[in-house]
Structure 1
Amino acid sequence: MLPYRQVKMPLCARLSPPPKRTSPGMVLLLAPYSIDYFDTLSHLFATHFAGSHPREATPLSFLNVRQEKDEMLRAFIDRFRKAALRMPNLTQEMILQCMALTLKPSPFTDNIYLRPPASMHELKLRVADYIRMEEMKTLRTKFCTDYTPSVPKIDKTPSRSYSRPKEPRPPQFSRYVPLSVPWSRLLNEALQADLIPPPRKTLNPPNADMTKYCKYHRNNGHTTYECKALQDTIEELIRIGHLRRFLKCIL
């Protein structure tokens, strides 16, 4: 055996041409006179470079290829395919089972659970359909977001319970059917039957006669009998078939 001290050329040069660029992990530094036998060199070599030896992928490591929460189906399928290529002896059943376990909850996952693909060709067709559907949904959402017209802001300030007084309006009808009961009685009947919404209280008009009160407007200035708005409302109800039992005669 040739002693280590008599080796004039570095060992790496005697084995193969040295690489142009080397990383720290590719260099094995030996102290002078530290190698006495080839077994010692072989042991140091195997120990130093054992970590750089490529390891075979296993089905357990294949399960770590999981689809992220915000990851598109196309991106996940690309990662899944690359991981499958690195794994030897991978059967079709193992691919289908691992994909079903690593997909995030989605319509595509539900489809795989409901009807497992019978072949890899069927799986590719389904993947292509759902990728196209997912990308079209994303494009439509982006389009709607970019081109949605601005909606004017709605003032959510609560309105006052009192509305402004309105000017007296002229009668809506030229003729009114004769009634057998007062207007206040018809107002109560309409409210109990939910034919009209509950009246809101309005402010008194300027120079209102405080001796007169209207139950329909809940303010002063005129009486319930004189209220033209109430008369028009009751007349409309009667003409569509309500409160007709309170008529003196049917026209």
Structure 2
Amino acid sequence: METPKMMGDMYSVQQGVNEHPRTFLRRYLKLVRQINNVVKTVATNLFRESLQNGSLLSEQLYLNPPRDLANIQLRSEEVFKILEIREEEARRTALITKLAEGNPPLKDKRDKRRPEQPLLKRGEKEEQNVYEKMAKKKYPHIETIVPMNHIYNESKDKPIWRNPFKINSLIERRDHNKYCPFHKDVSHTLPECRSLYNQVNHILRTDGLPQYVKNTHNVAQ
């Protein structure tokens, strides 16, 4: 049977300033398991509130609140993978910097491509041209009843979304405090995602998701 102290610990627990989110998640779940008949929604909300403000995990759970602790564990694994990539990139960058200080590498004049612009296959180029034309075409503004990122969060399980192109910029040049669930990568937030904006704009203009359109007369091609 749980003690008042255990219940108090669940309400007062906080992630440490330098505590890895994986370590904190394990510590929190261990505490919850010691409490009998714990209310799942309360435990789920308390975990979200106990995270460090501005952290990657906190931002992801804030944009799309979790249903339960199992959902938190599943989505946390995605964040852990991103953090592992950050750590690996930081180690690699530090090693490259150290080597460059002792022996600056020579520029390879044979490769004229910028590293942030990888070669695309023929099919990928054709598909990219379609989206570039969509982005450049001037459409009247479509008023929606909710922001476009909310439309994605509420409809992301429907088979209407195309995988966005990978972010081409070097990972060390991106804003690692921002995470885009649509790209599943760091660089920008969901409301800032231009790929999402273009796809939502296209879907609304092809009579997809009409329930989100405020003024249907603005959707005319």
Q: TM-score, normalised by structure 1?
A: 0.36
Which protein, 1 or 2, shows the higher relative CO under an 8 Å CA cutoff with sep ≥ 6?
Answer: 2
Q: Which has the larger radius of gyration?
A: 1
Q: TM-score, normalised by structure 2?
A: 0.40
